[in-house]
Structure formats: C-alpha cells, structure tokens
C-alpha cells in the first residue's frame, strides 16, 4: 500500500516552567466552530494549560477573532498537511506533561481537564493514555427539526479485555489525553493516513506495553453536523481501504492475541461497506425515480403544461422536474 510506519521518536522540547496540559486543536476554515471550541477550553475549571491551535491552511487567518489569552498559541500552516500532521506539529510545540486533543467542531465541558487530571495524576507509568464519555448532538437534515442527543459512557471495566474493547471503539474526539512520556516512546501520528491515524496510534501505544484509562463521566460535547468531517460518509471508502490494507495487517500480531477485538473491528468495516451500499442504492433509486417521472411527463406534454400552470408547491415541481411558467 506504500504507507510508511510512523517514526519511533518525537522530541518535545523542555522548558523551565511547563503547563500541566497541552491541548492540541487542529482547524481549517471553520471560524465559528473554532471560536466555540476555544471558548470551551478557556472555561476550564482547571487553569494550568496551554492551547496550541494549528491552523492547517485556512483560506483566512482567524486569530483576531479569538480570545486574547497568553495561554493560547497559534501555528499556521501555509498549506493543508492533514489532521494527523497538524496534530504532530502541535505535539512538537507542546510543553505539557499531558497532551490532550480537541477537534475544532467539538467542545470540552468545563470539567474536562480537572477530571482528567484527577484520574491520571497518581497512575503508574504503564498507564499511557486516557479517554472519557461524550455527549453527541446529531443535527437533522431538515431545517426546523430538533437535534437528537445521545450520551456514551465508559467503565468501570470488569477486566482488561473489556477495557481494550471500549478503548479501540473511540477516537481522539473522546477527550483523548496522552502522557508526554508515552508519546516520546511511541512517536507521532502516522501522517500518511488520511483517516484512522488515531486508531493506528492506539494500537502502537498498546504494542509498547501501555494501558488506557477511562475517565469517569461525560466531559466532552461532540457536534455531528452536516458539514465536511473525517468521519463523514464521503470518506467511508478511504476508511475501508486503510483498515483492510494497513491497520488489520500492520497490527495483526495484537489482533491475533485478541480475536474478539478483531471480530468487532471486522464488523465495523463491514458496517461501513453496508452504509456505502445503502447510499449507492438510495442515489440510484432517486435517479431512477426522476428519470421515470421525466419519461412519463414527456409522453404527455399537455399534462406537463397543466402541472406547470397549477399552484403546486415548489418541492413537488422540483421532484417532477417541471419549471413553473413565469418563474425565475
């Protein structure tokens, strides 16, 4: 497939006085969402952090729209390098003991840093990474419909297997925080992966002998909007390719030791394939229906003329592919 393995070492420069947390926030051309995300960081009840915003090639610079806070730093890429590399750039600049990640279309609850710190501060070295529960807001396709809200919670886990199953079901959007010492050993995100670079990172963390930790509670809000997203349906094909040609092969040793996890992940890939098939069927049905309407109406031009004169809703006319007479 030609995807290189991620590097094994990452240099995180030392400093005389370091913050407890470094929050990495990649963004590109989503100014309003970015302001919401940054505002959520500034509202944290735990104040010892730095926020590193990596602008990954936005058409315009939005620094002037952000709060004036000495804890905020902005790094701007002249061209887009992708989400994984944007996170790597942020990590290289980070000075904190714990490295947290936030997407520009999501937001932290005010409790995020305080609860994450309380959960991680006294853990042994083998604990390398944490995540937490999330509140999802799914926005409707139709204007005027109410959003749908669901909540995902994790733990307590009865055993290590249950812990790993839950851990490998999430991504960086679940309030992922990685210890600096863990990142220094595991290395950066694989920037060659357009999607699923977080899952690849999780596999590598486990492969180095680190364990994850689920922070109790729900401390992040994820907005399932209708704009472009890395988890959107338009990238399902690429996600399937990465899973089948890279992740399931590259991390086969781990998956051989955990056949139930392999089964779950294969089920996930198959669900993506089914979703793609459903989308294709829906588009084909829409195209066939439109063609049928057009064919029938073309055979009866008088009827088509009557319909054009009738006071029908525009939505119906569009479906019938009829232009209202006199409409502009």
**Per-residue pLDDT, 140:** 85
DSSP 8-state symbol, 6: P
How confident is residue 5, by pLDDT bands cut at 50, 70 and 90? Answer: low
Instruction: Identify the CATH number of the domain defined by range 21-226.
Output: 3.90.550.10
Average pLDDT for residues 39-64, to the nearest whole number? Answer: 93
259 contact partners, CB below 8 Å, separation of at least 6: none
Summarize pLDDT for 33-46 with one digit per residue, the tens.
999 999 999 999 99
Residue found under tokens 């886990």: 157
Top-confidence range, 108-122, 216-230, 261-275: 108-122
pLDDT in tens, 156-168: 999 999 999 999 9
267: nearest Cα among 248, 251, 246, 245: 248
User: Which pLDDT value is given to residue 282?
Assistant: 57
Give the closest residue to 272 by CA, choosing from 231, 228, 223, 229. Answer: 231
Strands (E), the chain: 21-27, 49-56, 72-77, 98-101, 106-108, 127-138, 148-152, 177-179, 211-224
Say what the pLDDT of residue 184 is: 97
Residue 251 has pLDDT above 90, yes or no: yes
289 CB burial (10 A radius; 0-12, 13-18, 19+): exposed
Predicted local confidence at residue 280, as pLDDT? 62
Instruction: Tell me the whole-structure pTM to 2 decimals.
Output: 0.79
Residue spans of the domains in the chain: they are 21-226
């Amino acid at each position: 497939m030609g995807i290189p393995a991620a590097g094994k070492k990452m240099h995180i420069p030392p400093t005389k006085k370091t913050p407890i947390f470094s929050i990495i926030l990649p963004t590109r051309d989503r100014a309003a969402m970015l302001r919401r995300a940054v505002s959520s960081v500034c509202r944290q009840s735990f104040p010892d952090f730095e926020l590193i915003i990596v602008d990954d090639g936005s058409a315009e610079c939005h620094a002037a729209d952000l709060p004036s806070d000495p804890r905020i730093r902005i790094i701007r890429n002249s061209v887009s390098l992708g989400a994984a590399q944007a996170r790597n750039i942020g990590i290289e600049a980070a000075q904190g003991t714990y490295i947290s990640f936030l997407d520009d279309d999501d937001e932290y609850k005010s409790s995020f840093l305080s609860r994450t710190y309380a959960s991680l501060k006294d853990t042994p070295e083998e604990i390398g990474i944490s995540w937490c529960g999330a509140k999802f807001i799914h926005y409707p396709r139709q204007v005027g419909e109410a959003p749908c809200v669901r909540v995902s919670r994790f733990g307590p886990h009865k055993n290590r297997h249950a812990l790993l199953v839950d851990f490998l079901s999430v991504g960086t959007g679940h309030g992922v925080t990685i210890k600096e010492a863990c990142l220094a050993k595991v290395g950066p995100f694989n920037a060659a992966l357009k999607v699923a670079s977080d899952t690849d990172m999780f596999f590598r963390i486990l492969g180095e002998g680190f364990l994850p930790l689920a922070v109790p509670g729900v401390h992040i809000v994820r907005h399932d909007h209708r704009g472009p997203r890395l988890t959107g349906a338009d990238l399902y094909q690429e996600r399937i390719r990465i899973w089948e040609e890279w992740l399931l092969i590259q991390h086969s040793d781990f998956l051989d030791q955990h056949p139930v996890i392999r089964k779950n992940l294969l089920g996930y890939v198959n669900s993506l394939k089914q979703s793609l098939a459903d989308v294709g069927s829906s588009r084909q049905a829409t195209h066939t229906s439109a063609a049928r309407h057009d064919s029938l109406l073309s055979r009866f031009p008088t009827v088509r003329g009557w319909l054009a004169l009738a006071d029908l809703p525009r939505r119906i006319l569009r479906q019938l592919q009829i232009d209202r007479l006199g409409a502009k």
